[in-house]
Amino acid sequence: MSAAMAILAISALYLLLFAPAAAALLRPKAIVAIRAIYAIFFLALAVRYFGLPGLGEPVVLAKAPAVPIEAQQQDPCVAAIAQAEARGLVTDRSNPSLVQVDSVKWRRLPPEARAALNSCLDQARSPRARAFPIQIVED
């Protein structure tokens, strides 16, 4: 829809919405009928957006979860390590050369996933600690 058509459509909607009010100013005896027109209009809007019990589902606007900008730009390795720690796979990373993992969960992990997590754990260490290979200790 072009901008001109959108402006015309919005103008027509405003005219339709305010026409009964203009008629009430011109004909004060018609105010009861005009109030009924507005009541029906706003009731129809309420039914459309909130629904009535037993008459179907109301309109639901799509909601996307709020994701902080830092999380959107976060390194995939940082997210993988955080997820591994949250699930109890990685139990201790306090020593940069030794990473303790849950042996049962570690063995269930496919070899490709283990290699990727190992690489991510290695990248998360300081450059000085990367001079030595990382050791995975199973609990």
> pLDDT by residue (tens digit) across 78-87?
888 888 999 9
* Residue percentage of the chain with pLDDT more than 70: 84
Rounded CA separation 72/75 (Å): 9
pLDDT of 73 over the 60 cut: no
Mean pLDDT computed over 120-124 = 88
Going by pLDDT thresholds of 50, 70 and 90, the confidence category of residue 57 is: low
Q: Per-residue confidence at 66, pLDDT binned at 50, 70, 90?
A: low
| Domain boundaries along the sequence of the chain | 3-50, 76-135
Distance CA 69, CA 72 (A): 5
What is the rounded CA–CA span in Å between residue 112 and residue 11? 61
